[in-house]
Amino acid sequence: MQPQASRVSLSSGELSYYAAGEGRPVVYLHPAGGVRWTKVQDELAGSFKLLVPVMPGFDGTPAHAPVKSMRALAALAAEFIDKVVGAPCDLIGCSFGGHLAAWLAAERPALVDHLVLECPAGFRPRGHGGRPPDPEELKKLLFLHPEKLPPETKTPDIEAANRRMLPRYGYSPETDEELLARIPSIDKLTLILHGTADRMIPKESVQLLKSRLPHAYLVYIWDAAHAIEVDQPERMLAVLMSFLQRSEGFMVNWGTLAINPG
C-alpha cells in the first residue's frame, strides 16, 4: 500500500507525516533510523488508518527550534494526534519511538488507547546494550537476517543527519529515570515486543518495563534482533494485529495458530 505524504502545521513548525489505510487510527512513532515502510506498516494500513509522523530533523525534515528533549518531542507528537486524529488512538513506538511513546502516554494518557512498545529505548540498565557508532556494527546489532532488509532508500547523508538528532533530543543509552518514575502511572493496555536476539536493547530493559507497567504484556519474538519488523514481520504482526483487534483477548488462541484449522 502506497502511503500518502502530507504535512501539518503545529505550534513549533511544520511536521511531515505519512498516512495509509482506513479505519481506527493507529499512530506509529518511528525508530532512530527514521521512517522505514515495511510489511508491518503495509499490513497495519490494511486494517487501520495508519499515521506515521516524521519527527523534526529526521529524514531530511527541518528541526523545530524549541523542541530539544524527548519530553518536548512527546508534546509535539501529542499535538499531532490532537490536530490530525482529534481523538484517542492506538500508539505504537519502535525503539527511539518507543521511548517517545512512553513519554506521550505518561504526559497525555487521554490520547492513547492501546500502547505498543516495540523494543523500546530509554530503559537500559547501566552497562547493558547500546547503539554502536560504527554503521557496520550497528547493522549487525539491528538485523539477524539482513537478507530480508528491503533496498535502502535513505542516502548516507540522511542516515548521518538522523543519527545527529539523537543527542539533540537527549537520547541516552541508559535509563531515563524521570520517565521510569512515571511508568507505573501509565494505565493503558500495553504490549511490549522484544526480539530474542536483541543485543541493543537488552532483555533487562523490557523486563523492567513489564514489572512497572500495571497492564502490560511482554512477548518475545523468536529469531529476531533489534529490528523485529525486518527480521520477523509475520511473527510480529501475528501478535500485534491480534492485540490491537482483541485487546486482552489476544491471549486466546482463536484458531489461527491451529495446525489443522477446519
Partner 1 sequence: MKFSFFHLMPYTHLELESRDWPFPNRYFDPAKASVLYRSYVESMIHAESCGFDWVGCNEHHFSPYGMMANPNLIGGALAYSTKHAKIAITGNLVPLNNPIRIAEEYAMLDCMTGGRLVAGLMRGIPHEYLAYNIPPGESWERQREAVQLILKAWTEPEPFGWEGKHFQYRQVSIWPKPMQKPHPPLVISASNADSAKFAAEMRATMGMVLLADLPSGKECIRVYREAARAGGWEPVPENILVGMHTCIAETDAEARRHLEQGLKYFDQVLMGGLQVSQRIVLQKTRYFESDESRDRWKSRLDKRRTLTLDEQIERGTVLCGSPETVVAQIRRIHAELGHGVFNFTVKVGTLPDDVIRRGMELFRDRVLPHVRDL
Residue 152 per-residue DSSP state: P
- 257 is a contact residue toward partner 1 (CB under 8 A): yes
Considering only the stretches 10-18, 121-129, 172-180, 207-215, report the one whose residues sit in contact with partner 1 under the rule CB under 8 A: 207-215
Judged by CB under 8 A, the residue of 8, 72, 166, 220 near partner 1 is 220
Residues with Cβ within 8 Å of residue 212, at least 6 apart in sequence: 180, 183, 184
Instruction: Using the rule CB under 8 A, give the single segment among 61-69, 80-88, 135-143, 210-218 that binds partner 1.
Output: 210-218
Residue with cell 518475545: 220
Does residue 210 interact with partner 1 by CB under 8 A? yes
How far is C-alpha 146 from the geometric centre of its chain's CA atoms?
20
Element (H, E) at 243: helix 233-246
Instruction: Provide the β-strand partners of residue 15.
Output: 8
180 forms part of the interface with partner 1 (CB under 8 A):
no
Measured between alpha carbons, how far is 256 from 95 in angstroms, rounded to an integer? 29
Q: What is the DSSP letter of 119?
A: S
Our CB check for partner 1 shows the closer of 22 and 223 to be 223
- Which one, 65 or 257, has the nearer CB to partner 1? 257
Q: Which residues would be at the binding site for partner 1 (CB under 8 A)?
A: 196, 207, 210-211, 217-223, 232, 235-236, 238-239, 250-253, 257
